[in-house]
Structure 1
Amino acid sequence: MTITEDFMAALQTAEQSGDVGPLLALHADSVNLMNLTEKTWEGQEGAREFWQTYLGNFEQIRSEFTAHREADGLGVMEWIATGRLKGGRDLKYRGVSLITLEGDKVKVFRTYYDSAAFVAPVAEEA
């Protein structure tokens, strides 16, 4: 198995169990994480905050990986996530995540996704 495949499996386990420990074990001590927000998370504590915040957005979530590749220290994962936001609204969105590897650890994590899925339609706000 590649580190990218280990990462995908650990993320799915965290989504099911809420335990981010096995996922964090794949991150380097000096890991850097970023999503579509302007914030960057750094180090093991930053990684813990990032993944706990991610999981905290949902009542349930499941990432299904549609394609992945790892070569020359870069892992690429395409995915579709399906679940329910806190508050009960269902959602489905897709994205791409990139990991830069340093040895057998994730040094950099970047994720890009359809953020419109998180915005409630006007009809639902009434």
Structure 2
Amino acid sequence: MQTLQQIEKTGEIEQLVELFSTDAELTNLAMLEPLEGKEGARQFWQKYLSVFDRIHSEFTHVVEANDSSVLEWVSKGALSTSEEITYRGVSILEFNHGKVQHFRTYYDSAAFLPQGAKHG
């Protein structure tokens, strides 16, 4: 969690990439197919950061059991279009030998619609 908050500040993703196994699978709602391995993790987090001018995630609930963690979070910041954004989501992590093997994240995709398309 602290590593994610650090990359959100610095844009330096390698410390986070190192937490993933060489055969990791990462996916989110916007992806048709999972990204794989450390290169997939690198692409995933580069893409994540590229959407925002600035972003900060706060973890509101964490459940850890055996080799899995579930993280509930709220992220606030500004998109690369300078539009302010706040959105919520849940990330599921599965570990193998201390490395992230599977990373799946689910979030409020409506928050990313253009301002005129949002219903409030």
Which range, TM-score by smaller chain? Answer: over 0.9
Paired letter, 1:49: Q
Q: Tell me which of 51, 58, 68 is aligned to 1:57.
A: 51
- CA distance in 1 between counterparts of 2:75 and 2:62 reads 15
Query: CA separation in 1, counterparts of 2:117 and 2:108?
Result: 20
- SS in structure 2 of the partner of residue 83 of structure 1: strand
1:1-126 mapped onto 2 (5 Å cutoff):
8-37=1-30, 38-122=32-116
5+ long unaligned stretches in structure 2: none
Give, in whole Å, the separation in 2 of the partners of 1:85 and 1:23: 21
Q: Distance in 2 between matches of 1:69 and 1:123?
A: 34
**SS in structure 2 of the partner of residue 60 of structure 1:** strand
Q: How much does 1:39 deviate? A: 2.9
CA gap of 1:123–1:17, structure 2 versus 1, over 3 A, is same
- Secondary structure of the residue aligned to 2:24 is strand
Residue 5 of structure 1: aligned partner: none
* Partner-residue secondary structure (3-state), 1:84: strand
Letter in 2 for 1:102: N
Q: Whole-Å Cα distance in 2 between the matches of residues 32 and 73 of structure 1? A: 15
Unaligned runs of 5+ in 1: 1-7
SS at match of 1:82: strand
> Where in structure 1 do 4 or more consecutive aligned residues deviate above 4 Å?
none
Cα RMSD, aligned residues only? 1.3
TM-score between both structures, scaled by the size of structure 1: 0.89
